[in-house]
Amino acid sequence: MGCEVITYRGHGRRYVAVMRSPEHAASELGELGYGDNRLFEQPATVKLTLGAPVDAKELLTGKEFKGAKSFELPLQPWRPVIVEVR
């Protein structure tokens, strides 16, 4: 599954966003190993691993992680995971 990871620092916090990288017009791009976006329309799980234990919060669901170095999050179709790292 193709995913993009975007990091941002601001307001004294770090943010990590994970989102899928679908092909919006796959049929126009030729053979890429798949012919449509069905893979991106299924729920998946992503595992974020950081260099040290942190407190974090998934912003869209409000789920908190205390003192975690890695954690798994559900990645829903067409919706990113956005984590605030404290």
Residue-level pLDDT at 27:
57
What pTM does this model have?
0.76
Which domains can be identified in the chain, with CATH numbers? 3-85 (2.60.40.1180)
Q: Output the six-digit token pair for 50.
A: 């950081």
The string of pLDDT tens digits covering residues 48-81 is 999 999 999 999 999 999 999 999 999 988 889 9
Residues 13-57 pLDDT 10s: 999 999 987 655 555 555 555 556 676 778 889 999 999 999 999
Cα dist from 84 to 15, 41, 51, whole Å: 5, 25, 15
Residue that wins the pLDDT comparison between 84 and 40: 84
